[in-house]
Amino acid sequence: MTDKGAIKLGIEALKEIKKSRGMTIDEAIKRIADVQLEFLPLPRHIDWKALQLGIEALKLISRHRKYPLAVPIGPLPGETEE
């Protein structure tokens, strides 16, 4: 299976889980990180970077919900301009 195929499979699995029972942000972070480590072990891989950016976005959302005034929303770690 190609890396892109593995990522697509992981994302589809997460979508199905979300439909069936819902999911917390912490669960989603764990599952995305598991897919990332299993199928994309090299941090230099572009899809690895995309998944990491998604994880960072979820972490920021989670912190912002807990502390809405203390957590400013700015660029994510690893995020670049256009």
Report residue 9's pLDDT band, with 50, 70 and 90 as the boundaries: low
Residue 28 falls inside a structural domain: yes
Please, is 15 exposed, middle or buried when counting C-beta atoms within 10 Å of its C-beta (0-12, 13-18, 19+)? Answer: exposed
Extract the tokens encoding 60: 């920021």
Domain that holds residue 22: 3-66
Q: What mean pLDDT value characterizes the chain?
A: 76
Domain contains 17: yes
- Is the pTM value of this prediction over 0.75? no
Question: In this model, does residue 41 exceed pLDDT 60?
Answer: yes
Name the domain count of the chain. Answer: 1
What is the rounded average pLDDT of the residues 29-48? 79
pLDDT of 10 > 80? The answer is: no
39 pLDDT above the threshold of 60: yes
Environment class of 21 (CB within 10 Å of its CB; exposed 0-12, middle 13-18, buried 19+): exposed
